[in-house]
Structure 1
Amino acid sequence: MAQAHIPDCEFCKISTKDAPAELVFESDHAMAFIPLRPAAVGHTLVIPKAHVPNLYELGVDTGARLMEAAIRVANAIKEALSPDGMNLITSAGSAATQTIFHIHLHLVPRWHGDHIGNLWPPSEPWSEATTEGVAGAIRDAVVMRSSGDANQRPHKKGEVDHK
């Protein structure tokens, strides 16, 4: 869940204006800025002003305000730069290459033939059995969370092959 600010968080410092950033948008709850090392022309980060470490800890209200800001900025990028497409990416945890533990949404404008290349689909598809197993595990977890019993695991960890 959201916390006010964490003193040593780089993005909290930006949200309190204690660190510089090339801001492109700001509201009461969110802000957007160009990262120090953009992946593409127009690459923009959108963050909540309150500290939330990652997607797993993002509350519905903060998430809605964050997505509202992302949509607004994405449309501004589309108008300003006329990209052929856009990636919206967030990383949760070090395995997903999250390096700053304050949730942020990457808006990455894309052009046909750009230097980033294809992100999806994978070169080899998953087997139907793996897809069915993963879908079942996720469905069960959604039902458990919806019923308020989020602490009960419907499947044992490792039942689904994720590699």
Structure 2
Amino acid sequence: MSDCTFCKIVAGLLPSYRVLEDEHTLAFLNIRPVSPGHTLVVPRVHARDVWEISEVSHGEVADMVHRVAALLKTALAPEGVNVKHNTGEAAG
């Protein structure tokens, strides 16, 4: 999608600090972090939201979230972690 910020980051058209990536997903630090290590995980295939993403892609994102959480635990030793997804304007 030409107007999707996340697609532009995946394609390397916008700068990002990449934490981890594989053939299906990309994890990168949030430009406006809420806390240290605030990382976004996105599929490499455009999906507008959780209603649009395929079950397979959703699973690949979940796998990457698990891997990133382990990295952040090792690197930052946080007391906890939040895993969050927002779909729709009402959700944030």
Structure 1 runs, 4 residues or longer, greater than 2 Å off: none
Letter aligned with residue 96 of structure 1: A
Instruction: Tell me if 1:49 matches 2:49.
Output: no
Q: 2:28 aligns with which of 27, 33, 44?
A: 33
**TM-score after normalising by structure 2:** 0.97
What percent identity do the matched residue pairs reach? 37
Structure 1's unaligned 5+ residue stretches are 1-5, 98-163
Cα offset for 1:58?
1.8
**TM-score after normalising by structure 1:** 0.55
Structure 2's unaligned 5+ residue stretches are none
Letter aligned with residue 13 of structure 1: K
Q: How does 1:89-108 map to 2 (within 5 A)?
A: 89-97=84-92
Instruction: Tell me if 1:83 matches 2:78.
Output: yes
Corresponding residue pairs, total: 92
2-side partners of 1:31 and 1:94: how far apart?
Answer: 23
Instruction: Give the RMSD, CA atoms, in angstroms.
Output: 0.7
2-side partners of 1:74 and 1:10: how far apart?
Answer: 23
| Structure with the greater alpha carbon radius of gyration | 1
Counterpart in the other structure of 2:3: 8
2-side partners of 1:74 and 1:83: how far apart?
Answer: 10
